[in-house]
Amino acid sequence: MPPLVAPRTDYLGYAYAATLVAGGLFGAVRRGSVISLISGALFGGAAGYGAYLNSLDPTDIKVPLAVSTVLCIIMTARMYMTSKLMPAGVISVLSLIMLSRYAIIVA
């Protein structure tokens, strides 16, 4: 039987998810971008679900690792195409931080 471990809340994961949702809302309000709203809601929701799973089991990182990896790749490519730091560069860096954080858990 595996040892019982008290669950810990993944506050950084929830903050990352909230940032993604807020960014999508900001893009929708400021630029009228429906795509920004949809992608912010989908990726933020997935990141929030991943943080929830990680809060229940600290070794369950498949979902948050996948979300942060996909966003890091997409937003880094977008940053290089547009040469703009905001918002693609910021989300790329945040995603890289979260990717590193979850990768350290695996190691």
pLDDT tens, residue by residue, 63-100: 999 999 999 999 999 999 988 888 889 999 999 999 99
Residue 1 has pLDDT above 60, yes or no: no
Structure pTM? 0.88
The CA distance from 11 to 52, in Å, is 10
The CA distance from 41 to 23, in Å, is 9
Grade residue 13 by pLDDT with cuts at 50, 70 and 90. very high
Distances in Å between the Cα of 70 and the Cα atoms of 3, 44, 78 are 33, 12, 12
The CA distance from 54 to 41, in Å, is 19
pLDDT tens, residue by residue, 90-103: 999 999 999 999 88
